[in-house]
Amino acid sequence: MNHARQLPLQGIRVLDVSQVMAGPFACMLLADLGADVIKVEPPSGDQTRGAMGFKMKGPDSMGFLNMNRNKRSLTLDLKSEEDRASFYKLARTADVIVENYRPGAVQRLGIDYESIRKIHPKIVYVSISGFGQSGPWADRPGFDLMAQAMSGVMSVTGYPGEKPVKAGVPVADIGCALFATYALLAAYIGAQKSGVGQHIDASLFDAAMAFSVWDMSEYWGTGVRPTPLGTSNKMSAPYQAVKARDGYFVMGATNQKLWTRLCELLQRPDLVEHADYASVSLRLKNREALIEALEREFGQRDSADWIDAMLAAGIPAGPILSYPEAFEGEHGTHRRMCMEIEHPIEGKVKNIGFPVKLLGTPQQVRRHPPLLGEHNEEIMAEINVPAGAAVAS
C-alpha cells in the first residue's frame, strides 16, 4: 500500500488571471504546494513571455520560465461573451482567483469579485495592484519601482547624500506575492468553515511599507526621519560591510557579548570599555569613528582570514557573494536553490529552487512552465466545453 502523503494544497484549484511578477509568483508558490493552477491568459499571452533583453530557443523568456512552473495554460479572450461564459463555468470549479488588472478593469469585463461570488459564494478572490483597490492613488499604474519610491523604501536605501537607489531585488513585487499568499490561504481556510469566501485587496505599496518595521519604530519613537545607512543598521553596531586588506566582508557584533569577543579577537581590550564604545547606544552614536578604528585592524588581513576567525569565535560573519557565486557555491548547491526542469522546447531549463522546504511533503516539479494555450482542450473538456469552442488561440 502506498502511504505517500499528498502535497498540502492538492485538490485546490486556482485561476491565475495575472501577469508579470507578483500574481504569477504567488500562484507558482501555490502550484509548488500541489494546487491545480490554471493560468488564464489573453490570446497574446502573459507579457512576461516576451520580456527580457535576450532570446531563448522558444518564445518564452527565462523570467516567465522562473515564475510559472507547475501550472497549466488556458487562453481566453475575456472581452468575448463566449470566452467569458467559459470563464464563469471554470470559476465555478475554482477555490481561488488571483488577478492583477488595474482597479476597475475586472468590473468592466464582468469578472470582478461581486460578479463571481454571485455564482460561487465560497470563492476567495485576490486583487493585486500597485496601490490597492481604493484610495487617492488607486487608479495609478504601479510597478515595483513606483512602490519602492512612494512607500519610503528608496528613502532608506543607499548612502546619505547620494543619488536615489532602489533595492536591487523587487521587494514590493515579491513582498506582495508573499503577503497575498498568506492572506488567500487564511481566507480559504475560513471559507471551509463558514462557506463564504471573500475579496482580498493586496498592493505593492502596502507590501513595501510593511518592511519598514525598524525605520518607522524609530521615527514614531523619536520623531527622527529615517535616512539611508548603506549596509549598516539602526539597531546595533558594528553590523555592516567592513573593509579588509583584499576587500569587503560582512560581520555583526550585535550585543555586548559579541562585542567583547570581537575586541578579544582583535587584541584590542582597550575598545571594550572605551568611553565612546562601551554600550550599544554609544557604538551607534559613534558608528563612523568605530568603523574607522575597526577597519584599521581589519586592513591587516584578508577577508577570508577574518571570516574564519570570527566564525571560530562565534561572531557572525560572511563573504559578499554575487548571485552566481551564491547559487553555484557549496551551500546554495546543497540547498538545491538551482534546479533543472525539462521543457518541450528549451530542453533542460534552470529554475530557482523552492525557497522553503516541506520535509514531510516535499514540493515537486510536476509540470514544466506551460506553453501558451498548451492545455486549452484538456481544461475545457474538464468543464464540458466542446474542443475548440469558446477558446481564443
Q: Catalytic site residues?
A: 173
Cα–Cα distances in angstroms (integers) from residue 243 to residues 251, 261, 292, 307, in the given order: 10, 19, 10, 12
The grid coordinates listed for 294 are 575597526
Cα–Cα distances in angstroms (integers) from residue 248 to residues 36, 187, 215, 392, in the given order: 46, 45, 25, 55
- How many Å apart are CA 195 and CA 217, to the nearest integer? 39
User: Which H or E run contains 64?
Assistant: helix 62-65
Rounded (5°) CA angle 186-46-136: 60
- How many Å apart are CA 105 and CA 42, to the nearest integer? 14
- How many Å apart are CA 129 and CA 106, to the nearest integer? 12
Helices (H), 72-136: 81-91, 105-109, 113-119
Cα–Cα distances in angstroms (integers) from residue 309 to residues 298, 303, 321, in the given order: 11, 10, 19
CA proximity to 36, closest of 67, 78, 7: 7
Q: Kindly give the pairing relationship between strand 338-343 and strand 347-352.
A: antiparallel
Backbone angles phi, psi at 74, to 5 degrees: -130, 125
User: DSSP string covering 306-365, please?
Assistant: HHHHHHHTT--EEE---HHHHHHSHHHHHTT-EEEEEETTTEEEEEE--SS--SSS----
- How many Å apart are CA 95 and CA 35, to the nearest integer? 10
